[in-house]
C-alpha cells in the first residue's frame, strides 16, 4: 500500500507526526490554523509542498466547520470574520517557515480565489468559504498528479543520459534529504523519480544521505524505502565524495537527484543544507546533478539565490539527537528497545550554527524536472524558467 502521510476528508485533516518517525507512527489532528502553524514550525510536517498543502487545508478545515456550525471557533483576531479572517490566517501561516516558496505561492493563489468569490453577485460567506475549500482540496489532488509526472519525466531524462550497461542495464542514484510522500501530498519529487526508475526496473540501488542535523534521510527517506521495498543504502553526508570516487563505475552511479525549497528565476536553488556540496561533487565526478521541483517551487520574482531567505534553526538540533536505545543480541546484531530519548552529542550544547538550507548555483545544475517537462540550460549556459509557465 502507498504510504499516506496526510489524511484529509472534508472538515478533517490528520498528518503523520514526522518528529516521531521512524520510531512511532502517530497521526495528529490539525483542527486549527494555530495547529498547522505549530506543526510546520516544529517540523512535525516538513518538505516544501507538504508545508503548503497542510497550511491551505488547515484553513479549509476551519471553513468547513464554519459552514456547518456558523462560527470559526478560533480567535486569531477577535473582531475579524469572513474573507478577512481567511486572508489573515493565510498571512499568519506564511510566517511559520521562510525558505520554501510553495506556501507563498499557495497563499497568493488562494487569496485570488477568495477575491474572485467575494465579487460574485450575491456571494455569501458560505459561498466564499466553499470556493476556498474547493481550491485548497484541488491543490492536494494536483500535487500528487504533478509528482507522478515529475517522476516519469525525470526517469525518462536520466535513462536517456545514462550508460545502461548490458546485460543488467540498471543504474544507481544518490539522493539527499526527504522528498517523498512525507514531503508532499504523495509520491514525491526527487523520490518520485527514484520510485519511477524502480517501478520500471531500471534502479540498481539508491544511496541516500543521512541529512544532518535533522536526519530527514536516515529517519524519513529510509522509512519510505523500507515501506516501498526499494533497494537502498544509507550513507552519512560526508561519504558522497568517497562513494563517487570508489564505486561510481561498479555501481553505475548516474546522477544525484535532489528536491528544492525555492528555485530563483536564474535557476539558483535553495534546498536542504548539504545540497551545494553534493552539486560540487557531482560536477567534479561528472555525474548529472538534477533538481526535481513542481512549478509551485519556482519563484520568478526572486532574481537569484542571493534573494532567498535562509532559515536558521536552533543550535540544539545540531548538538542533540533523538533515538531509541538499542540492545545487542547474542549474534552481535542490534535490536531497538525502550522509548525515544534525546541525547547530547556535542561538548558545547549551544555553540552551533544551524542553517536549514543552502543555495546551489544554477551553473552546477544539469536540469530542473517539473510536472510539465524537463528544463535544461540553454547553449549560453543559462536557464529560461519562464517558458515552463507558458505550457
Ligand atoms: O527542512 P525541510 O525538511 O522542510 O527541508 C526539505 C527539503 O529541503 C526538501 O528537499 C524540499 O522541501 C523538497 S520536498 C519535495
Nearest ligand 1 atom, CA 48: 12
Verify whether ligand 1 is closer than 6 Å to residue 143 (CB atom).
no
Which cell goes with 181? Answer: 510522500
Of 263, 271, 257, nearest to 357 by C-alpha is 271
Verify whether ligand 1 is closer than 6 Å to residue 154 (CB atom).
no
Band of pLDDT at residue 83, cut at 50, 70 and 90: confident
> What is the Å distance from ligand 1's center to 358 Cα?
11
Domains plus CATH for the chain?
Answer: 6-143 (1.20.120.420), 151-390 (3.40.50.10470)
Verify whether ligand 1 is closer than 6 Å to residue 49 (CB atom).
yes
Q: Name the pTM for this structure.
A: 0.96
Q: What confidence score (pLDDT) does residue 78 get?
A: 55
Q: Report pLDDT digits (tens) over 158-204.
A: 999 998 877 778 999 999 999 999 999 999 999 999 999 999 999 99
Q: Which residues are catalytic?
A: 261
Amino acid at each position: 500500500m502507498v504510504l499516506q502521510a496526510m489524511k484529509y476528508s472534508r472538515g478533517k485533516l490528520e498528518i503523520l507526526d514526522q518528529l516521531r518517525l521512524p520510531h512511532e507512527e502517530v497521526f495528529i489532528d490539525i483542527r486549527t490554523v494555530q495547529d498547522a502553524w505549530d506543526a510546520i514550525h516544529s517540523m512535525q510536517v516538513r518538505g516544501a509542498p507538504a508545508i503548503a498543502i497542510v497550511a491551505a487545508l488547515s484553513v479549509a478545515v476551519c471553513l468547513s466547520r464554519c459552514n456547518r456550525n456558523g462560527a470559526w471557533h478560533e480567535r486569531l483576531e477577535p473582531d475579524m470574520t469572513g474573507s478577512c479572517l481567511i486572508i489573515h490566517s493565510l498571512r499568519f501561516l506564511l510566517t511559520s517557515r521562510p525558505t520554501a516558496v510553495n506556501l507563498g505561492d499557495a497563499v497568493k493563489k488562494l487569496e485570488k480565489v477568495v477575491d474572485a468569490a467575494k465579487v460574485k453577485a450575491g456571494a455569501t460567506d458560505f459561498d466564499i468559504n466553499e470556493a476556498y475549500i474547493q481550491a485548497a482540496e484541488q491543490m492536494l489532488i494536483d500535487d500528487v498528479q504533478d509528482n507522478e509526472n515529475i517522476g516519469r519525466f525525470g526517469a525518462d531524462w536520466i535513462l536517456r543520459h545514462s550508460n545502461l550497461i548490458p546485460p543488467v542495464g540498471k543504474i544507481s542514484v544518490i539522493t539527499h534529504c526527504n522528498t517523498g510522500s512525507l514531503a508532499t501530498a504523495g509520491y514525491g519529487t526527487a523520490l518520485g523519480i527514484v520510485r519511477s526508475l524502480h517501478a520500471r526496473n531500471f534502479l540498481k540501488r539508491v544511496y541516500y544521505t543521512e541529512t544532518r542535523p535533522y536526519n530527514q534521510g536516515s529517519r524519513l527517506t529510509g522509512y519510505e524505502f523500507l515501506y516501498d521495498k526499494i533497494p537502498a543504502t544509507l550513507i552519512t553526508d560526508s561519504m558522497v565524495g568517497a562513494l563517487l570516487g570508489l564505486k561510481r563505475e561498479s555501481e553505475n552511479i548516474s546522477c544525484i537527484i535532489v528536491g528544492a525549497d525555492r528555485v530563483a528565476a536564474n535557476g539558483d536553488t535553495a534546498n536542504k543544507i548539504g545540497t551545494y556540496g553534493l552539486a560540487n561533487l557531482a560536477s567534479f565526478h561528472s555525474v548529472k546533478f538534477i533538481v526535481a521541483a513542481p512549478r509551485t517551487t519556482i519563484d520568478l520574482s526572486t532574481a537569484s539565490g542571493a534573494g532567498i531567505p535562509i532559515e536558521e534553526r536552533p543550535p540544539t538540533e545540531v548538538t542533540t539527537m533523538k533515538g531509541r536505545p538499542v540492545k545487542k543480541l547474542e549474534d552481535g546484531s542490534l535490536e531497538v528497545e525502550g522509548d525515544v530519548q534525546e541525547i547530547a552529542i556535542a561538548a558545547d550544547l549551544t555553540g552551533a550554527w544551524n542553517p536549514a538550507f543552502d543555495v546551489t548555483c544554477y551553473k552546477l545544475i544539469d536540469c530542473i524536472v517539473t510536472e510539465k517537462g524537463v528544463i535544461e540550460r540553454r547553449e549560453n549556459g543559462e536557464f529560461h524558467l519562464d517558458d515552463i509557465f507558458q505550457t
